[in-house]
Each structure stands twice: as C-alpha cells, then as structure tokens.
Amino acid sequence: MRPRRIAAMPIYLDNAATTPLRRDALDAMLPLLGDDFGNPSSVHGFGRRARGALDEARERLATGLNAQPREIIFTAGGTEAINLALKGAAWAGKARGGRLVTTAVEHHAVLYTLRHLEKFGFELVVVPVDRYGRVDPEQLDAAINDRTILVSLMLANNEVGTIQPLPEVIRRIRAHKGIVIHLDAVQAAPYMAIDTRELDVDMLSLAAHKFEGPKGIGALYVRHGTIMLPQVHGGSQERYRRAGTENVAGAVGMAVAYELTRTEQAVTAPRLAALRDRLRDAVLAVPNVELTGHPRKRLPGHLSVIVRDAEGEAVVQNLDLAGVAVSTGSACTTGSTEPSHVLTALGYPDEEARGSLRITLGRANTDHEIEQAGRIIPETILQTRTAALAIAADPLGEQVGA
Ligand code: PLP
C-alpha cells in the first residue's frame, strides 16, 4: 500500500516510548562529558568538580519532588529503579510476611520483577482493573492481609494513559500498618506534579528520557527510614544503596530536564490536552475506532484507540511511511504479535487488542503537526483497512495480475 500524503518532516507522536533530549539538558551535560570528566569518589580537583555537579543534581531533583537529597538514588533508568524498589523492599520485609500486591496493568518492569520474586517464595496478588484501567480502591484493600509487606502501583498507565485514583487507594493501604508503597511515576512525570510527601508513598520510580532528559539515567525516591536492601553490590556510592561509579552527566541532564518540565507543566499539560482532544476527535471520526482508557482521567498527551478490522502493526508501519511515528499497545516478541496485557486486563479480546494504536504527544509537538496528523492518521487507517480487506478477499493476489 502506498500512502498518498507524506508529511514533509516526520511527526513524532510516540512520546510515551521516549522523548527527544532537550537542548538545556544537553548543554548542562556537555562539560561533564568533556573536561569535567572526573570520578565523584576521587579526592582531587577533577573528582571534586564531578562530586559538586552530582550533589547539585541530586538537590535539584529532590527539590522538584519535594524530597530530601538523601532520599534520591540515581539508577540506570526506570526499570532499574523499579527492580531496586521491589526486590529491595521485598527482601527487607521477608521476615514480616511474604505477600506482594499490585495491579494487572503495571509495566512489565513491575510485573516481571514481582513474578521473579514469586519464585523465591513470595506470594503475589494481582488486582484486576475496570474497563478504563482503574483499580477499585475497595478491591485493592481486600487483597491486603496481615502478611502484606509491599504494594506497587502506577500513577498513570503507559499504554492507555489512565490515571489511578491514588489518594483513595493510598489512604486505604495506610490504614494497614507496615506496608511499603512503591509508585511507578515513570509515565506520569512529564505531565503531572510529583510531590512525594503529598502522594504519601515510600518509594517512587522515574526515568529521565520520558521528560526530555537523557537515556540511561533514572531515579528511585526512598522515603527516609524505609528499609530496603541494595541489589547491586560493590562500592559505597549512593549511600551503599546502589554501587557503581555514578553517571554524573546523566544525573545533571535529568535534574535540569525535570526542573524545566515541572516549571512548564502548568502550561504544557493543558496545551497538550487541547491538541490531543483535537486529534482524538479526528481519529474517532473514523468508523469502528474506539477510545481505550479513561475518557477524562488520563494523561494529557495520551490518545489510545482500538482500530477494528485492521492490525495495529500494519497501521503503525503505514503511518511510518506516511511520516507519522506512533506505536501499538502490543509487545512484539520474536515474530509474533502478542496482544498487550494492559488491553487484555481492560477486557478487550485478543483480536481487538491487536488493532491497538498509541499516539502520544509531547512538549515539542506543534499545532501544525497535530493538524497534519489529524488528516494523515484517519486516511492511513482507512487505507490499511482497504488493503487488509483486499488481501482477505484475494489472498493469492490472482486478480491483481501482477
Ligand atoms: N514504567 C512505566 C510506566 C514505563 O512506561 C516505562 C517505560 O516505558 C518503564 C516503567 C521502564 O522505564 P525504562 O524503559 O526507561 O527503564
């Protein structure tokens, strides 16, 4: 299939996967990748300069999260922060009990880490969600017993953008004593204010590349007094909680990117929501396309849909040819397209889940891009469907005569 309209410049609408590194973050990082290359553990001037930059990055990130600098552990990304949080808290709490509780729509970094812990005798309870991806606070509460040591939740979902009813859920968990609460805020951080005190969580994971920071750096907030066992052993870095020479440039880039994200959020979030709504109306005007996730309680940049009578992968590939980068909600594993566990948890049958599209806006997207995407995406969905129907009617291509 040949797409008819090609955007002059590719339009990037996959900001939930990653975002471009913003200029200010790169500029702040460059000296640390150049002359100021020292190891923060070294006592000489090179080391002291690197230590100063790392300390300042930690302070700035902590301020943005309403946390103390000592409560921030830099990691190699969101996945590592989550692994450290869950394994660290589970092993530290083992003597008190072995029940771990989470929801069915968590990122694989959470679900697979908890499944891994199950192999060591921990008991895992996965709480279902409703059709929009929201957990019922009462149902989550009912999953907690006196052996529960850890609950892991997400602030907002990476596939459908649904925001969880956190204050109510957390209030109920706090009524039980001694449970560590971990929050995966990786996807929410670009759009929502993250105040660790107000959220009242014990641990919180972030990844810099989701908010225009560099890849290869993330952070775990650990509330002072929370007991957690390190998972990477070696040097005394990060107060013995995560060994290994620090990624100083990454930490600086992350702190700058987060600070700017927080400052701009009040303007960026409503602007993106308005653009997203325009795009949503254009995409939902195509027959047999349905919004997934919550209609209102969702991240401002997130548009996720099910396209009936089309494979999500085919639509994504055709959109790529047409100059628009989006993704499906499906994870591609060695040649077979597995339906997304998130859409399955929302109750979509496999064949519908295979038609999923995730279109995610970011700060850099312009009005003009969204206007163009609002024409290209519906057109490409229709063309992909027509091509799929033609193949279904004539699988050997005999009538094409080519
Ligand atoms: N949690 C959520 C909600 C995510 O969206 C992601 C990444 O997509 C992660 C965790 C893992 O982050 P990373 O791939 O940066 O390690």
Whether 310 lines ligand 1, by a CB cut-off of 6 Å, is no
Cα separations in angstroms, 76 against 85, 166, 203, 249: 13, 27, 16, 12
Give dist(CA 134, CA 162) in Å, integer. Answer: 7
Which DSSP state fits 286?
A: S
Whether 107 lines ligand 1, by a CB cut-off of 6 Å, is yes
- Of 111, 203, 210, best ligand 1 pocket probe by most atoms within 8 Å of the beta carbon: 210
Residue closest to 79 by CA, chosen among 174, 187, 173: 187
Is residue 176 scored above 70 in pLDDT? yes
Q: What rounded mean pLDDT belongs to the chain?
A: 94
Is residue 310 scored above 60 in pLDDT? yes
Angle at alpha carbon of residue 323, lines to 287 and 4, rounded to 5° = 60
Handedness of CA 264, 199, 79, 273 (dihedral sign): negative
Residue ID of nearest Cα to ligand 1 atom 5? 158
Evaluate whether 24 touches 256 at the Cβ level (below 8 Å).
yes
* Domain ranges across the chain: 11-20+266-393, 23-260
Across 189-199, b (16+ Cβ under 10 Å) vs e yields bbbbbbebeeb
Atom of ligand 1 nearest to the CA of 106: 3
Whether 330 lines ligand 1, by a CB cut-off of 6 Å, is no
| Residue 94 tokens, joined | 């083992």
Whether 292 lines ligand 1, by a CB cut-off of 6 Å, is no
The pTM of this model reads: 0.95
Q: What per-residue confidence (pLDDT) applies to 399?
A: 56
How much distance in Å is there from the Cα of 4 to the middle of ligand 1?
35
Residue 320: CA count within 13 A, CB half-sphere? 11
Evaluate whether 150 touches 182 at the Cβ level (below 8 Å).
yes
Strand pairing class (324-325; 11-12) = parallel
Name the CATH architecture for the domain at 11-20+266-393: Alpha-Beta Complex (3.90)
How much distance in Å is there from the Cα of 27 to the middle of ligand 1?
25
Q: What per-residue confidence (pLDDT) applies to 8?
A: 67
Whether 161 lines ligand 1, by a CB cut-off of 6 Å, is no
Q: What per-residue confidence (pLDDT) applies to 336?
A: 58
| Residue whose entry in the numeric block shows the structure tokens 């290209």 | 376
How much distance in Å is there from the Cα of 320 to the middle of ligand 1?
23
Q: Annotated catalytic, 332?
A: yes
Specify the 3-state DSSP secondary structure of 259.
helix
Is residue 13 scored above 80 in pLDDT? yes
Strand partners, 306: 290, 356
Is residue 3 scored above 50 in pLDDT? no
Residue ID of nearest Cα to ligand 1 atom 13? 78
Whether 206 lines ligand 1, by a CB cut-off of 6 Å, is no
Q: What per-residue confidence (pLDDT) applies to 401?
A: 42
Whether 144 lines ligand 1, by a CB cut-off of 6 Å, is no
Give dist(CA 287, CA 173) in Å, integer. Answer: 43
Across 326-354, b (16+ Cβ under 10 Å) vs e yields bbbbbeeeeeebebbbbbbbbebeeebbb
Is residue 333 scored above 70 in pLDDT? no
- Residues in CB range of 1: below 8 A, 6 or more apart: 318, 383, 384, 387
Is residue 331 scored above 90 in pLDDT? no
Q: What per-residue confidence (pLDDT) applies to 374?
A: 98
| Residue 10 tokens, joined | 């590719």
If residue 175 lies in a helix (H) or strand (E), which one and from where to where?
Answer: none
Atom of ligand 1 nearest to the CA of 18: 8
Across 21-40, b (16+ Cβ under 10 Å) vs e yields bbeebbebbeebeeebebeb
Mind listing the pLDDT tens digit for each residue in 107-132? Answer: 999 999 999 999 999 999 999 999 99
Q: Please state the φ and ψ torsions of residue 363, each to the nearest 5 degrees.
A: -55, -35
Of 332, 364, 389, 391, which one is the catalytic site residue?
Answer: 332
Is residue 284 scored above 80 in pLDDT? yes
Mean pLDDT confidence for 149-174: 98
How much distance in Å is there from the Cα of 396 to the middle of ligand 1?
41
| 366 alpha-carbon distance from chain centroid | 22
Share of the chain above pLDDT 90, in %: 91
Of 204-208, 334-338, 386-390, least confident by mean pLDDT is 334-338
Mind listing the pLDDT tens digit for each residue in 361-392? Answer: 999 999 999 999 999 999 999 999 988 777 77
Is residue 402 scored above 80 in pLDDT? no
Whether 19 lines ligand 1, by a CB cut-off of 6 Å, is no
Q: What per-residue confidence (pLDDT) applies to 88?
A: 98
How much distance in Å is there from the Cα of 184 to the middle of ligand 1?
8
Whether 162 lines ligand 1, by a CB cut-off of 6 Å, is no
Strand partners, 23: none
Give dist(CA 60, CA 58) in Å, integer. Answer: 6
Q: What per-residue confidence (pLDDT) applies to 390?
A: 75
Whether 38 lines ligand 1, by a CB cut-off of 6 Å, is no
Is residue 334 scored above 90 in pLDDT? no
Give dist(CA 303, CA 256) in Å, integer. Answer: 27
- Of 21, 74, 79, best ligand 1 pocket probe by most atoms within 8 Å of the beta carbon: 79
How much distance in Å is there from the Cα of 82 to the middle of ligand 1?
9
Residue ID of nearest Cα to ligand 1 atom 8? 17
Is residue 393 scored above 90 in pLDDT? no
How much distance in Å is there from the Cα of 77 to the middle of ligand 1?
8
CATH 3.30.465.10 fits 23-260, yes or no: no
